[in-house]
Structure 1
């Protein structure tokens, strides 16, 4: 749809000249001799270009009326009197810009284009914020197929008492999934206890998990371990793949019997808890090389949930960026950064090796007014020839489409609009690994 611009000017010749300039730039222009007539128009404008001093309703009054009726509509004021005080007042009242006659036509068109871009950015932010306010209680934002399927799986598994393994790359939100499982379960009123297996020194692991009694070692007092602390609720074993090999059989026994024996005593204490184990690597593969006990894996994996990486979530990337940028802007007392098409394009093209964690850091950086950070995984220089640039772009698009379609070449070919044989040739040519 071609943007509609209301041109409000009491001077007939100037009004027609402005309309000719606006239409020559590819916009639709509708002329009005005063502010009242513009307000009474049926068609709602995408931008208002108005003179400041006019009989009846002047530009300042029109600005105020437009702000009340459509706060997102940019209003550009023009004055032939060089009134600085009026300009300051107009900008404080929400004017997009203020131009003094005589003005440069190209500059006026630049102001109009910038105003329309700002409106589009505000509309996009509003749309994303509306989706954010309608998010589910578990805090899993997004409308993509991957997030929708993840919510469905959580909803199906949460009411059960199965232990669950959640797998996904670093920064994909595995702890968020664990908390959502807890919040939607019958154990929601109980504690949610998290243990980072990679951060615990091996010498302290057994004490922290199983607890100890007074006299177990010099200076020891009675202290329940994490297993007991989570009784009635959920214990999350984060980065469970890092659990020391010596601890694995002891944890297996405790989970099989749902009983725990504190260090330094000979009696068993009952356990009533659910385990959610998270891992950034495939635990099944680790069982093959002996670095993780197969029997412990199968005890933990009553069910499995795989969390997709950020790069395959499509439009949800912009949604998540808007959410974190809004939080950061509020925290630092800044204006919400606009999500213009150029920024959205950069968000969609970035591979996001750090996933949501990296996206959050970028959103906070943009909210503070800093530049968009370079992709650390990107090559230092662009390929020199056009053919090389086209090939790099094509390979990246094919790789992303394959990830979205989980390696299914038939579906990927349909998504990309090419024959399957052509796709396979390109996969081979670019050395893309499925």
Structure 2
């Protein structure tokens, strides 16, 4: 069933026009002349679209009452000329967005679509909360094009038996992707064994990977290596770029033949496993300078997955922040804190060099009532003047348009109704990453 939108507007002609526009877009609209009528309705909306200035209960009071009744119901404000200060106050009180009259109908529909999508994303967090809390898979949540494409690629590659190389910055959730691939495969019931190639001393690497037999060295007993331990399942080679050069040809032979020879033994043991290698660096340039064997790379890279950094995920940043703050609040017996509008803007503009790992730590501090440390944040002066607020709003709309158009500036310019050259100038002015 299509989403239900409560339209609260005291001007009858405007109210009916809004309902016609909303229903033409495929939603259900229910009109109300005032806030009190909307609150008394038996139906429960998926979104409330309300004028700010109305006789009796105004939009601000309706916002507060609606959030008390259903904190997850998005409220979009429509403000008249001169009401901008009040609209900003409403945003800080929890309104999803606001539009200033006169507004463009297509822009209104895009705001409604985005708000409903955000609500659906929050509902997804609720449905998956227990599973994510147990397995910490929050990094795969999100509604952005990048996260949708990543989940689609996992769904396509997971059921195959191809070896995979996953590349991404530190903290982007490469291990979560590896585990998701394992769970999507026919090997899901088998073991998932992870080896950190950077943390394992070179002197122990061969023993840990290939195993040994009794008598191989003083005090040695029979012990299978990680390759054998992962038989029937998946072996993840984390930070594979740090693998010692002397081990690389031995691993290559084992993977080519799918056979392993334990240290101190002269017989081969069969291997039945899938290899998933993760790397912080692109392995191709490393094959050119000889620091990583090209033949091993091509053996590992049956296919490849690139995990986007957090700064490229747009509104998913706020979604993930809310998720981790909620987990921390539940863990420490605190109330789930509300995210003010200004904090959301800071989160979206922060570069997040530590990616999801950094975001999780910041969210936990926020849930405990600790402020985000200024030394860890990009210095940001919150917009105070009208020009600054308009610029912040414009930059956000451009980011959203680019997200919807998957970075295609020509399509984004058409969607925004501006020339492509003008869009490129604004992208440069606001420092937006395409």
Fold shared per TM-score above 0.5: yes
Q: Distance in 2 between matches of 1:339 and 1:429?
A: 27
SS at match of 1:170: coil
* Pair 243,417 (structure 1): closer, same or farther in 2 beyond 3 Å: farther
Q: How big is each residue's C-alpha offset from its partner over 1:191-244, in whole Å with a ceiling of 9 and x where there is no partner?
A: 000001111111111111111111111111111111000000000000101101
| Corresponding residue of 1:219 | 219
* Pair 394,335 (structure 1): closer, same or farther in 2 beyond 3 Å: closer
| Corresponding residue of 2:271 | 271
1:29 maps to 2:5: no
Aligned residues: 345
1:131 maps to 2:124: yes
Q: Distance in 2 between matches of 1:410 and 1:71?
A: 39
Deviation at 1:131, TM superposition (A): 2.2
| Corresponding residue of 2:355 | 355
Deviation at 1:26, TM superposition (A): 3.9
* Pair 310,429 (structure 1): closer, same or farther in 2 beyond 3 Å: closer
| Corresponding residue of 1:55 | none
Q: Distance in 1 between matches of 2:306 and 2:345?
A: 27
1:311 maps to 2:275: no
Deviation at 1:335, TM superposition (A): 0.7
* Pair 326,126 (structure 1): closer, same or farther in 2 beyond 3 Å: farther
Q: Distance in 1 between matches of 2:415 and 2:295?
A: 41
SS at match of 1:200: coil
TM-score (norm 1): 0.67
| Corresponding residue of 1:100 | none
Q: Distance in 1 between matches of 2:396 and 2:221?
A: 58
Deviation at 1:45, TM superposition (A): 4.7
8 Å CA contact 2:311–2:351 kept in 1: the answer is yes
8 Å CA contact 2:212–2:220 kept in 1: the answer is yes
Q: Distance in 2 between matches of 1:353 and 1:221?
A: 44
* Pair 214,399 (structure 1): closer, same or farther in 2 beyond 3 Å: farther
8 Å CA contact 1:158–1:181 kept in 2: the answer is yes
1:188 maps to 2:168: no
Deviation at 1:425, TM superposition (A): 7.0
| Corresponding residue of 2:93 | 117
Q: How big is each residue's C-alpha offset from its partner over 1:38-58, in whole Å with a ceiling of 9 and x where there is no partner?
A: xxxxxx95456xxxxxxxxxx
TM-score (norm 2): 0.67
8 Å CA contact 1:194–1:235 kept in 2: the answer is yes
Q: Distance in 2 between matches of 1:156 and 1:292?
A: 28
* Pair 430,328 (structure 1): closer, same or farther in 2 beyond 3 Å: closer
* Pair 398,135 (structure 1): closer, same or farther in 2 beyond 3 Å: same
Deviation at 1:399, TM superposition (A): 9.9
Deviation at 1:353, TM superposition (A): 1.1
Q: Distance in 1 between matches of 2:55 and 2:364?
A: 38
| Corresponding residue of 2:338 | 338
Deviation at 1:129, TM superposition (A): 3.5
Deviation at 1:271, TM superposition (A): 0.4
* Pair 405,215 (structure 1): closer, same or farther in 2 beyond 3 Å: farther
* Pair 116,261 (structure 1): closer, same or farther in 2 beyond 3 Å: closer
8 Å CA contact 2:145–2:403 kept in 1: the answer is no
* Pair 381,342 (structure 1): closer, same or farther in 2 beyond 3 Å: closer
| Corresponding residue of 1:86 | none
| Corresponding residue of 2:282 | 282
* Pair 410,203 (structure 1): closer, same or farther in 2 beyond 3 Å: farther
8 Å CA contact 1:2–1:27 kept in 2: the answer is no
The CA RMSD measured in Å over matched residues stands at 4.4
Q: How big is each residue's C-alpha offset from its partner over 1:353-386, in whole Å with a ceiling of 9 and x where there is no partner?
A: 111111111110111000023364736999xxxx
| Corresponding residue of 2:367 | 367
Q: Within 5 A, what are the aligned runs for 1:34-433?
A: 45-47=62-64, 70=69, 117=93, 128-134=121-127, 139=137, 140-374=140-374, 376=376, 378=378, 410=410, 419-421=419-421
Deviation at 1:420, TM superposition (A): 4.4
The structure with more radius of gyration: 1
Q: Distance in 1 between matches of 2:297 and 2:345?
A: 41
8 Å CA contact 1:350–1:375 kept in 2: the answer is no
Q: Distance in 1 between matches of 2:344 and 2:425?
A: 31
